[in-house]
Copies of this chain bind each other. A is one copy, B any other.
């Protein structure tokens, strides 16, 4: 059962934009796109992004400095994320594989460290780009 988060005005504008885009978006591209809605400054964008990441509605693709809407309805928080990234067309998908997530969530080694979160990024060529 997913907690309902009542998004604020700016959070909703920015989430809707990212979600509808269907892919990763960069902060300043978001800013450009929401200026007509009254969001004029980078900080307004970064604050909304920060909150949306915190509650798991979006994730940051670290290697690309970009943000993508969560494609996995059960992702309440951004604490166990995996993505596949095409190095040619830059298409990104969230990987939703229960074996993988179990394996990583349960991973431990002899470092004495307790892992509470992970982020995994796979790179390669997508189907389309491979066949070119």
Q: Which residues of A contact B (CB under 8 A)?
A: 62-63, 84, 86-87, 93, 95, 97, 100, 103-104, 107, 109, 111-127, 130
Contact = CB atoms under 8 A, between A and B. Distances in A.
Contacts of A116: 123-125
B127 A123 contact: no
Nearest to A131: B112
A1 to B, nearest CB: 25
A85 to B, nearest CB: 9
Contacts of A84: 109, 111, 113, 115
Contacts of A109: 84, 95, 97
Contacts of A112: 126-127, 130
Contact of A119 (B63, B104, B115, B125): B63
B126 A107 contact: no
Given A62-B62, A63-B62, A111 B127 contact: yes
